[in-house]
Structure 1
Amino acid sequence: ACNGYEVIDLGVMVPVEKIIQVAIDENIDIIGMSGLITPSLDEMVHNVKAFDKAGLKLPAIIGGATCSKIHTAVKIAPHYPHGAIYIADASRAVPMVSKLINNKTRQHVIDSSYQEYDMMRQKRLSQAKRKTIVSIEEARSNRCKIDWQHYTPKKPNQLGITIFDDYPLDDLVERIDWTPFFRSWELHGHFPKILDDKVVGVEARKLFDDAKQMLTQIIDEKWLTAKAVIGLFPANTVNHDDIELYTDDNRQHVLHKLHHLRMQIERVDNDNFCLADFVAPKDSNIDDYTGGFAVTAGHGIDEHVARFEANHDDYNAIMIKCLADRLAEALAERMHERVRKEFWGYASDEALTNEAMIKEKYQGIRPAPGYPACPDHTEKATLWELLKPDETIGLNITENFAMFPTAAVSGWYFSNPKARYFGVTNIGRDQVEDYAARKGMSVAETEKWLAPVLDYDVE
């Protein structure tokens, strides 16, 4: 039970047939679905179609890290007339459930949500018409052009893989970015200003005090263990958008190849970026380098979550999950800092405050597979083959590339001063076909993974 409602938790990656059968057998009132990564979006569409076909006329609550209101409006709701209602986070589930269970308010909630969805679809359609994409050849000709003849990439001080089996948690506290912590509790505002906010300041201070108290326990009593693995490798760009990693600086043997995507929206006064732009081309005969990382602060969390939940203490069960997430992000930030100053050493004299680091004032980037600059989750498989986080630090990925323990961060390192974050959207069919060929995947499989960023509808 939770907040007075009986909740039947079916787990993760549950077949739709089982969801339907349990819904019928248990006479449930509402179905809840949460999507963690990109493939979950297609599964939700498949599921609501199956619900409708099976004759279920139950509202479905839609949420999760990978989902959004616009996706619900455009992709899910049109296939389900009985209510596919998006909620931004768990804190909004209870009031929404109470409205959907109440016969007097259910239809009004569904109707008003669907009216909003309809307006969002119309707006999305008009925006799509205004966006022009160029061919992948044109996009490549408008790449970020770096003067490689007047730039010498720094050779890392330590090539290869480095493992941190038990990283000191107390070294991460100063690198915690607290703003997302408050956001996860639906308290919006920037830390530390939020503590003095006229509206939410009192609640924010109470939450912060509780968080600091638990954080002290986590560190002193070793509730969690933080682990990291980083790797730095000789590298060069090939085929415009791919990066070869080499076994050593002789660059005779390819260790792995990273495949990246390029911005394809027409950009008259700006570049069509691709992450491969930030690594020297192979034909330039310039020795360049790149890296990867995977970190987690989630080892040990399950027993404490189970302990809190056994005592019906949802508040502290959520609290430790939020803090583990913050520690994982802090570990990713700390490792990137040490890479810049120590292991790679291209910014050895860097001296930034935590606030400056949060604002990413440093040289270099650490984009993550599945995020805007490299939206393809399947590239995480290459990262795992390269660093072997499952073997080195006990960080695994599922068949859909979700990380477990979930308090984890992984990605790539780029050192070039021109390296920056950007978003790849509106990918054309020509780039998808080119990308699929480079990766050795079918176009259909590639379209499945890139569905949220395609510029066309898949038949």
Structure 2
Amino acid sequence: VYPHLDRHVLFKLHWGGRGKKGEEWRKIVEGDGEEEGFRPKLERMWREQDYLHPRAKLGYFPCNADGNELVIFDPEDHDREISRLVFPRQPRHDRICLTDFYRPLDSGERDVVALQGVTVGDEVTELMAQLERDGEFAEQLFTHGLGVQSAEGLAEWLHSRARQDLGIEPDQGRRYSWGYPACPDQSEHTKVWELLGLEEIGMYLSDGFAVMPEQSTVAIVSHHPQSVYFGMKSGFIPKGKATDELIAGTERGGELPPDDDPEEGESDQEGEMRAPADEVPA
């Protein structure tokens, strides 16, 4: 998980590095001899922490697109439909729907979809509540950021494994999470729970269908080379392969985090047909 942490988002958005540039950014990341820098702090926190408990599930399913619905078939019987995931379509632009990235039902060929769920457990949430009660607000900030980005890093690691399993390039395809513009209806989470059995790794849904514990994510993975992130009011299908951006400072990116400020909410979602929901050690 550690090599897949997005240090850019962690340091800038979660740990207070927004607005820092040049030498000021270097000092806050590396330290200046008087105050601990973000990078050594992250390394120390990772060594010392005992409150993150990564668990993950990854399932592969035969599928086909039927209009705005993705038909999911039984991995043991490719003719038996077991679920349908429903997605909205853009009213304008290229009128993209997430199902467009899968073979249509009338093609006569099954495609494959990967579904994944990850969590780092609820102990980190309990620790944050305790830190707040104790008035340790700075430490709460650092702990919260590490928890959130650990869940995202775990999702990134699992997505990279899916790419390897599917035999595609490390930057091909996209990972989409419910609640974001391409798939806003979080009630669809209930279908993913039925398919993956995420309760087996301690994950559950709130009354409003939000993924719990807080530091957890659920996603659908498209392997199509033209997969892109899009919204109902923005986004077009590219003419060629849409390369997934490498995350600076991670195992894929390999460089130090840049000093530019990411947008709020920036993260890699937020990318063959074997038995579903294999539990994957993290």
Given the alignment of the two structures, is residue 185 of structure 1 paired with residue 15 of structure 2, yes or no?
Answer: yes
**Match of 2:17, as an amino acid?**
L
Given the alignment of the two structures, is residue 423 of structure 1 paired with residue 231 of structure 2, yes or no?
Answer: yes
Please list every run of 5 or more consecutive structure 2 residues that lacks an aligned counterpart in the other structure. 32-36, 235-282
Give the distance between the partners of 1:372 and 1:300, measured in 2 at CA.
Answer: 30
Partner of 2:278: none
CA 1:249–1:306 in 2, change beyond 3 Å: closer, same or farther? closer
Per-residue deviation, 1:303: 4.4
Q: Which string of whole-angstrom CA distances, capped at 9 and with x for unpartnered residues, describes residues 335-375 of structure 1?
A: 01111103xx222xx4x5xxxxxxxxx11111111112112
**Match of 1:254, as an amino acid?**
E
Give the distance between the partners of 1:330 and 1:381, measured in 2 at CA.
Answer: 24
Tell me, yes or no, if the aligned pair for 1:346 and 1:415 is still in contact at 8 Å: no
| CA RMSD in angstroms, aligned pairs only | 2.1
Partner of 1:366: 175
Per-residue deviation, 1:306: 4.4
SS in 2 for 1:280: coil
Give the distance between the partners of 2:217 and 2:129, measured in 1 at CA.
Answer: 23
Tell me, yes or no, if the aligned pair for 1:229 and 1:392 is still in contact at 8 Å: no
Give the distance between the partners of 1:400 and 1:292, measured in 2 at CA.
Answer: 21
Partner of 1:242: 69
Q: How many residues align?
A: 227
Tell me, yes or no, if the aligned pair for 1:234 and 1:249 is still in contact at 8 Å: no
Tell me, yes or no, if the aligned pair for 2:56 and 2:119 is still in contact at 8 Å: yes
Partner of 2:279: none
- Greater share of strand: 2
Given the alignment of the two structures, is residue 397 of structure 1 paired with residue 205 of structure 2, yes or no?
Answer: yes
- Greater share of helix: 1
Aligned identity (percent) is: 27
Tell me, yes or no, if the aligned pair for 1:225 and 1:298 is still in contact at 8 Å: yes
**Match of 1:301, as an amino acid?**
V
Q: How does 1:320-339 map to 2 (within 5 A)?
A: 320-339=143-162
Please list every run of 5 or more consecutive structure 1 residues that lacks an aligned counterpart in the other structure. 1-171, 353-361, 427-459
Tell me, yes or no, if the aligned pair for 1:375 and 1:424 is still in contact at 8 Å: no
Q: How does 1:289-304 map to 2 (within 5 A)?
A: 289-304=112-127
CA 1:248–1:215 in 2, change beyond 3 Å: closer, same or farther? closer
**Match of 2:44, as an amino acid?**
Q
Give the distance between the partners of 1:425 and 1:388, measured in 2 at CA.
Answer: 34
Ranked by relative contact order (alpha carbons within 8 Å, sequence separation 6 or more), the top structure is: 2
Tell me, yes or no, if the aligned pair for 2:125 and 2:214 is still in contact at 8 Å: no
Scaled by the length of structure 1, the TM-score of the pair is 0.46
Alignment partner for residue 410 of structure 1, among 197, 211, 218?
218
Tell me, yes or no, if the aligned pair for 1:364 and 1:417 is still in contact at 8 Å: yes
SS in 1 for 2:175: coil
CA 1:307–1:400 in 2, change beyond 3 Å: closer, same or farther? closer
Q: How does 1:119-198 map to 2 (within 5 A)?
A: 172-181=1-10, 182-188=12-18, 197-198=22-23
Tell me, yes or no, if the aligned pair for 1:280 and 1:286 is still in contact at 8 Å: yes
CA 1:254–1:226 in 2, change beyond 3 Å: closer, same or farther? same
Give the distance between the partners of 1:281 and 1:200, measured in 2 at CA.
Answer: 49
Give the distance between the partners of 1:383 and 1:425, measured in 2 at CA.
Answer: 26
Given the alignment of the two structures, is residue 227 of structure 1 paired with residue 55 of structure 2, yes or no?
Answer: yes
Tell me, yes or no, if the aligned pair for 1:236 and 1:280 is still in contact at 8 Å: yes
**Match of 2:63, as an amino acid?**
A
Per-residue deviation, 1:417: 1.7
CA 1:254–1:223 in 2, change beyond 3 Å: closer, same or farther? same
Give the distance between the partners of 1:249 and 1:224, measured in 2 at CA.
Answer: 35
Per-residue deviation, 1:224: 1.4
Given the alignment of the two structures, is residue 263 of structure 1 paired with residue 90 of structure 2, yes or no?
Answer: yes
CA 1:306–1:273 in 2, change beyond 3 Å: closer, same or farther? closer
Tell me, yes or no, if the aligned pair for 1:260 and 1:275 is still in contact at 8 Å: yes
Tell me, yes or no, if the aligned pair for 1:237 and 1:243 is still in contact at 8 Å: yes
Tell me, yes or no, if the aligned pair for 2:53 and 2:120 is still in contact at 8 Å: yes
Per-residue deviation, 1:249: 5.9
Partner of 2:48: 217
Partner of 2:248: none
SS in 2 for 1:253: strand
**Larger CA Rg, structure 1 vs 2:** 1
